[in-house]
Amino acid sequence: MKILVVHPQMSLYGGAEVVIVRLANYLQEQGHEVSILTLSTKDRKEYEGLNFILPPEDRRMSYHLRGSVRALKDVLKMYSTLKNLCEQYSGDFDVVNAHNFPAIWAVSEGKKAVWMCNEIPDLWHGSQNGLVNKMLNIGRLGDRIITRAKSPTAVVPDALIAKRFQHRYGLTPEIIPYGIDGEFFSQVTNARHIDNAFVVLQPSMISPSKNQMAVLKAAHALKHIIPNLKVIFAGYKEQTPYLKQLEEYTAEHNLDTVFTGLVPKEELRDLYDHAQVAVFPGKGQGSWLGPFEALATGCPVIVSPNLSCTDTIRSLSTVSDYLVESMQNIHNHYPTYKAQALKGQEFVLKNLTWDKFGARFLEVLES
């Protein structure tokens, strides 16, 4: 079988890109031919052995939305370029596997398609602008109409996303949890303290949708209760107004905060090992792999109930938007939460493997 994977950009190696690489490698190991159609890529060892289809010129775009007009132009430009490339190349493939928005829009009419939907497309989470919200409602209706016209088979990683998918599109998706590099992340040297600190780690791209400000506000509220509290933000960052806002808040309240930028997987594993808690207070965008990677190291986890992993992870972590209370509970009763995390580690190693994900996804492609 010849499979065309369509994804807007592979230049940043985040959660969606990890899923694509692991899936493509699995499918190739099973004897299938896979190509990845994308607007940009980057030299990475993870991409070795993979075939990419690219436009004549790199169409890399910012991962941060700087205003509704700019964002709308970027989305339309991505859609147009992906659509043209799909029309040019998809005829040579048996099935198209679309990933992040707007990939599913770009699939040629009548082409067999499987959409790996890791989140429902929504920009400007929690906007207070009435005009923007009206535009978003129109956009959601348009998304429903366009996506249903493609008649895709859809796959989502969690029951919560399945409910959101049914609400948006009126379609019932398959639920297939992603895999985790559990063996790798479980090879830790046992939890250690960094400078005898209570370390709160958020391993996410710096973005309003990842909600780093909520972590800083919780750290400020707990500053005199947990005086050795240290916050580490480990993830891709650009010089944006939001990053400046975070840095200014840190300085204003004299918080012990580190912005590491994007770190190698080995360093991320060490940070999980050092941390007393990993937090994921995102506003509904992605963040599926990170909480389970943290559990694989035995690190206690706090996740927002808005995130796509909550149905799977609920009994293995703290699911709450109340960071102050949750962080203080873990600090005060750490052995209890550590034991919960170790049960989570067992669950991840047993149930969330890439072979299981790949085998179930291949069944969907073949059907």
CB atoms within 10 A of CB 338: 16
Distances (CA, A) of 298 to 232, 234, 236: 18, 18, 24
Q: What is the pLDDT of residue 61?
A: 62
pLDDT at 76 > cutoff 90: no
Sign of the Cα torsion 28, 32, 33, 35 reads negative
Nearest to 89 by CA among 35, 48, 50: 35
pLDDT digits (tens, 9 = 90+) for 266-278: 999 999 999 999 9
pLDDT digits (tens, 9 = 90+) for 47-73: 999 999 999 876 666 545 445 566 667
Mean pLDDT value across the chain: 89
pLDDT at 123 > cutoff 70: no
Distances (CA, A) of 366 to 32, 106, 191: 11, 21, 44
Q: What is the pLDDT of residue 219?
A: 97
Furthest C-alpha separation in the chain: 63
Q: How far apart are CA 31 and CA 230, in angstroms?
A: 48
Nearest to 83 by CA among 137, 29, 141, 150: 150
Q: What residues does each domain of the chain span?
A: 2-179+353-366, 182-351
Q: Which residue has the higher pLDDT, 327 or 195?
A: 327
The half-sphere exposure of 154 on its side-chain side, counting CA atoms within 13 A, is: 27
- When pLDDT is averaged across residues 108-116 and rounded to a whole number, the result is 92
pLDDT digits (tens, 9 = 90+) for 346-358: 999 999 999 999 9
pLDDT at 193 > cutoff 70: no
Superfamily name and number for 2-179+353-366: Glycogen Phosphorylase B; (3.40.50.2000)
pLDDT digits (tens, 9 = 90+) for 6-47: 999 998 888 899 999 999 999 999 999 999 999 999 888 999
Distances (CA, A) of 225 to 165, 220, 268, 279, 325: 41, 10, 27, 19, 11
Query: Within its chain, how far is the Cα of 239 from the centroid?
Result: 21
pTM, to two decimals: 0.86
Could you tell me which CATH number the domain at 182-351 has? 3.40.50.2000
133, two tokens: 């919200």
- When pLDDT is averaged across residues 228-243 and rounded to a whole number, the result is 92
Q: What is the pLDDT of residue 58?
A: 65
Q: What is the pLDDT of residue 83?
A: 94
Q: What is the pLDDT of residue 78?
A: 85
pLDDT at 179 > cutoff 90: yes
Whether 272 contacts 181, CB under 8 Å: no
The fraction of the chain above a pLDDT of 70, given in percent, is 91
pLDDT at 334 > cutoff 90: yes
Q: What is the pLDDT of residue 308?
A: 78
pLDDT at 178 > cutoff 90: yes
Whole-angstrom Cα Rg for the chain: 20
Could you check whether 2-179+353-366 and 182-351 share the same CATH topology? yes
